A and B are shown apart, each in its own frame.
Chain A
Amino acid sequence: MPNFYGTEVASRLMLGTAQYPSPAILADAFRRSGAGIATVSVRREAGGDRAGQDFWALIKELGVAVLPNTAGCHSAREAITTAHMARELFDTPWIKLEVIGHADTLQPDPFGLIEAARALTDDGFQVFPYCTEDLVLCERLLEAGCEVLMPWGAPIGTGLGLNNIYGLRSLRAHYPDVPMVIDAGLGLPSQAAQAIEMGFDAVLLNTAVAKAGDPAMMAESFALAVQAGALAHAADPMEPRDMAAPSTPVLGKAFL
């Protein structure tokens, strides 16, 4: 099971908490998913006088670890300020660091990300950076003190799955011991299974579950997919090959 900054988590599934039809349905989705971590945004909800506290109290009642995020921040400075607010609100050094570089694709800003990651780890935070699968960026994030990476599968909310299989495989192979979570872009359980089969430690979803017709049922289907992916990875899958190999030996034919 994944271990993030020394904390073992009992599930490979992490869920976001936005966009559900109601907090009650959100809680149902968590129950049926068995997710071990809930991400929660604080920036827009905070307002004056901790106006979001009722919702955050509901999140705390889910009984899972809370990973606050800096969703909606477009600069390192903004993200750093939000991270401090989150640490105070949730009493945790964990922060999922998002620095958005492009308004339309919500693509991470690699430069702002490294700047903020460095500042936050220096300040005692345990940073979970939302990044791309770019190997050099990931290397710099590790140098900046991050001990977890959260590469995207595809842009946030698109449901396109793993867009760059080669890049993700290469990243996984270069850093076999760094906990990695596929964050963003997953739309279907099969895509989550694929990520875990490839050796990623966990997946994080929000829209795919929250915006499903039946969020709780979709949450459970992702839980089963992640379980299947983990079993497959542990079972050491066969290597693909070009030549067909009949599973039942064909007798009486010469080798070609």
Chain B
Amino acid sequence: MSSPITILGSGVAGLCVAAELSGAGHAVTVIDPHLAPGAHGCSWWAGGMLAPDCEGEVAEEPVVRLGRDAADWWQGKGAQVTRNGSVVVALDRDRRQLDRFARQTENHQTLDRAALEALEPQLADRFDRALFMTQEAHINPRETLLGLHARLADAGVQFVKDGTPQGQVIDCRGLAARDALPDLRGVKGEMVILSAPDVTLSRPVRLIHPRFPLYIVPRGDGVFMLGATQIESGERSRATVRSIMELLNAAYALHPAFGEAEVLEIGVDARPAFPDNLPRIGRIGDRLYVNGLFRHGFLLAPAMARMVGAMVRHGDQPEVWHEDHS
């Protein structure tokens, strides 16, 4: 048995690091006041898209590259990963934006109406052109977090509410670690979960829109997640009428069947981000910090966990190493 490890936080970052180190034979304890993943952590409100190519439209290169192996990692940990790509569409007046999106991203095919009909028949009524991002995948974030939590507990990882940390401490507390990481900020996101039995989308769909960009992720059984706003605010509550109206409007523009959907849930939280919106691993005193996964928690946590594993076991310096947090 290798040296003990204490992880703070049972969000997506904490659980992935726990999985990597527990798998390598360390005795791992996870401290989280809530014991298990849940509504208190922002990964609970994630979309669950494993979409490195789409994210590459805005995100910098490391996000795309580090995110490439996420689907394999999650699958290897027993998560149910749906690997059927994703679709990007734009309303008629924004057609040129779709060309631009294609220029800025990789691994896609352009679909005409017939090809779109074969993939997502409901979209073919409304769109005569789309991009099919062939390499992308999606998961249900809540089932994935709870599943990983259960498997880790079975494998002997201890989950405790509090206690004195033993051995190497790895802080994965997200925004709660702002006390130690002054340049960490919150970026507010609002999302909606709908039950829309008349909608048959089988893969994530992104709507490019100059004002109200939207993605819709199928969760199975006619349930869909609509996301997400991105507001420069650390506020973790208060979904506004304006934001929710924008999300619902965009969904309705994507397909009118969303008009009859039932609103199951409205969620809001803030993503932890550093000024470059890229993730970091760093050390303050004896404590390691893994943070700043921004809107890429499920996409980047596996790569972050691997880097932490290689560092703890072999002393390898991670590429996202950040020397001085102060």
Contacts and interface: CB of A to CB of B under 8 A. Distances in A.
A58 B275 contact: yes
B233 A157 contact: no
B235 A48 contact: yes
Given A21-B59, A22-B275, A213 B104 contact: yes
B277 A24 contact: yes
A54 interface: yes
B233 A45 contact: yes
A47 B188 contact: yes
A157 B210 contact: yes
B59 A24 contact: no
Given A21-B58, A21-B60, A213-B104, A54 B234 contact: yes
B276 A54 contact: no
B185 interface: yes
A22 B59 CA distance: 8
* SS of A interface (majority): helix
Nearest to B97: A211
A22 B273 CA distance: 9
A25 B60 CA distance: 10
A22 B187 CA distance: 11
Given A47-B188, A51-B188, A54-B186, A24 B234 contact: no
A119 interface: no
Interface of A: 21-25, 27, 44-49, 51-55, 58, 157, 213
A55 B230 CA distance: 13
A51 B275 contact: no
B275 A45 contact: no
Given A44-B240, A44-B242, 6 more contacts: A24-B277, A27-B275, A48-B238, A51-B186, A52-B233, A58-B275
A20 to B, nearest CB: 9
A24 B235 contact: no
B185 A24 contact: no
Interface string B177-195: 0000000011010000000
23 contacts: A21-B58, A21-B277, A22-B60, A22-B276, A22-B278, A23-B275, A24-B275, A44-B242, A45-B232, A45-B233, A46-B233, A47-B188, A47-B233, A47-B238, A49-B235, A51-B233, A52-B232, A52-B234, A54-B185, A54-B234, A55-B185, A55-B233, A58-B185
Contacts of A46: 233
Contact of A45 (B60, B210, B231): B231
Interface string B277-297: 110000000000000000000
A51 B238 CA distance: 11
A49 B242 CA distance: 19
B187 to A, nearest CB: 8
A51 B235 contact: yes
Contact of B276 (A24, A48, A49, A213): A24
B6 to A, nearest CB: 28
A189 B95 CA distance: 24
Contacts of B58: 21
A209 to B, nearest CB: 14
A54 B234 CA distance: 8
Contacts of B60: 21-22
Contacts of A51: 186, 188, 233-235
A55 B232 contact: yes
A214 B99 CA distance: 17
A51 B188 CA distance: 9
A23 B230 CA distance: 13
A21 B60 CA distance: 8
A186 B273 CA distance: 30
Interface in B195-243: 210-211, 231-235, 238, 240, 242
